[in-house]
Amino acid sequence: MKVTLSVIKADIGSLVGHHVVHPEQIRVASEKLKKAKEAGLLIDYHVTNVGDDLQLIMTHAKGIDSEEVHGLAWDTFTEVTEKVSKKLKLYAAGQDLLATAFSGNLKGMGPGIAEAEFEERISEPVIVFMADKTEPGAWNLPLYKIFADPFNTAGLVIDESLHEGFTFRVMDVYEDKVVDLHAPEELYDLLALIGTTGRYVIQSVFRRKDSLLAAVASTARLSLIAGKYVGKDDPVMFIRAQHGLPAVGEVLETFAFPHLVAGWMRGSHNGPLMPVSIKYAKCTRFDGPPRVGSLGFQLNEGKLVGPEDMFDDPAFDRAREIANKAADYIRRHGPFMPARLGPEEMEYTTLKIVLKKLESRFRLTR
């Protein structure tokens, strides 16, 4: 059967600054999706959070960009904002809801969306990844390693069905354009783009031999939509695994390295992406370090069997320890680059005001 998996998220206010979603927000959102399931719109759903971002994981038969499903997500976010965030005076209530009214589709309205329609395989393991205090480009390195690096994914070398490689659809988030690049032969071109994580973002990945969809990520950049800082985008993605795709363990392996990502305090710093169980998916130190949580499911006629909390495992203790060491190291740079982002990427800056103030005092050196 064809199933659509829609992972739609928004930060609509949180408990104690930008720390964590309030349990009442999860309860009200779940209640809303339960009704939609009873009414037959959704096949199944799971509501969760990573840090201050609320994720609606939904399956249905309506295809991508469905007005009904996107409308449901919008109504859920606005209702939770009104009924819970504002009532409890949670911090930054409705933060990511940039539009005032729903207009048929969530694109450009603030929430992050990773969604795809696909034929459910005989057995369909999917892993959802959700991050807080970072941006969509944070997925570039892991997606590259999972689908193009044989030192991460053994199957690229030893499994015939992965051996032809994968196609990466890369989006230029400034120009709203995409380009398809084929690995392994275009690896260097691919890396030339996706190393610039603030601009070129992997949107989806397909298997070469039959164009089977393997991964989808959210690519919205809130600051580009709103033209000003409104919080980091805190992206989501999901990856299908096994049987001619990277194994679950190959998908997770890349997160054993807590790579540096943009975000953290005020969306203006680099920090290590720490893999954590959902229980620890709440940002503290310097509003971080940036975190990634992961839930695994088996799809069964669209039903979400699970979830499994994929990073709830001592095997990732070492990654967390490295992340904490990296956090100590980079924090000691204080306001200096590269701990602080470059001026073009900073979400908060006083540079313009300072330059204006000093304008008359700047003098030529000769």
- Clarify whether 133 is annotated catalytic: no
Question: CA 256 → CA 9, 100, 276, 277, 321, distances in Å?
Answer: 25, 41, 11, 13, 10
Binding of ligand 13P at residue 345 (CB under 6 A)? Answer: no
269-308 binders of ligand 13P (CB under 6 A): 287
Closest CA to 53 of 79, 84, 86, 77: 77
Binding mask 236-265 for ligand 13P (x = CB under 6 A): ------xx---x-x---------------x
Q: How far is the CB of 20 from ligand 13P (least distance, A)?
A: 10
Q: How far is the CB of 270 from ligand 13P (least distance, A)?
A: 13
Task: Say if residue 125 is preceded by a cis peptide, omega within 30 of 0.
Answer: no
Binding mask 305-344 for ligand 13P (x = CB under 6 A): ----------------------------------------
Cα–Cα distance, 267 to 209 (Å, whole number): 39
- Residues 8, 74 contacting (CB under 8 angstroms): no
| Count of residues in the chain | 366
Other CB atoms within 10 A of residue 94 CB: 19
Contacts of 354 by beta carbon, 8 Å cutoff, 6+ apart: none
Determine which one of 9, 62, 145, 232 is catalytic: 232
Nearer to ligand 13P, 63 or 249 (CB): 249
- Residues 47, 22 contacting (CB under 8 angstroms): no
Residue showing the smallest CB distance to ligand 13P in the complex: 231
Residue 85 near which of Mg ion, ligand 13P, none (CB within 5-8 Å, type-dependent):
none
Nearer to Mg ion, 132 or 253 (CB): 132
Determine which one of 37, 91, 172, 229 is catalytic: 229
Binding of Mg ion at residue 132 (CB under 5 A)? Answer: yes
Closest CA to 292 of 347, 214, 237: 237
- Clarify whether 209 is annotated catalytic: no
DSSP string, 75-129: HHHHHHIIIIIITTT-BTTTTT--SSS--S--TTSS-EEEEEEEEPPSSEEEEEE
205-234 binders of ligand 13P (CB under 6 A): 231-232, 234
Binding mask 305-344 for Mg ion (x = CB under 5 A): ----------------------------------------
Residue 243 near which of ligand 13P, Mg ion, none (CB within 5-8 Å, type-dependent):
ligand 13P
* 325 three-state secondary structure: helix
36-75 binders of Mg ion (CB under 5 A): 51-53
CA-CA-CA-CA torsion sign (208, 211, 212, 215): positive
Q: Where are the alpha helices (DSSP H) in the chain?
A: 23-38, 67-80, 140-148, 155-158, 187-194, 222-226, 248-253, 317-331, 351-358
Binding of Mg ion at residue 233 (CB under 5 A)? Answer: no
Q: How far is the CB of 228 from ligand 13P (least distance, A)?
A: 13
Nearer to ligand 13P, 62 or 232 (CB): 232
**The one among 60, 266, 320, 340 contacting ligand 13P by CB under 6 A:** 266
**The one among 52, 135, 149, 345 contacting ligand 13P by CB under 6 A:** 52
- Clarify whether 348 is annotated catalytic: no
DSSP designation for 266:
G
**Binding residues for ligand 13P (CB under 6 A):** 11, 18, 51-52, 95, 132-133, 231-232, 234, 242-243, 247, 249, 265-267, 287
Active-site amino acid positions = 11, 229, 232
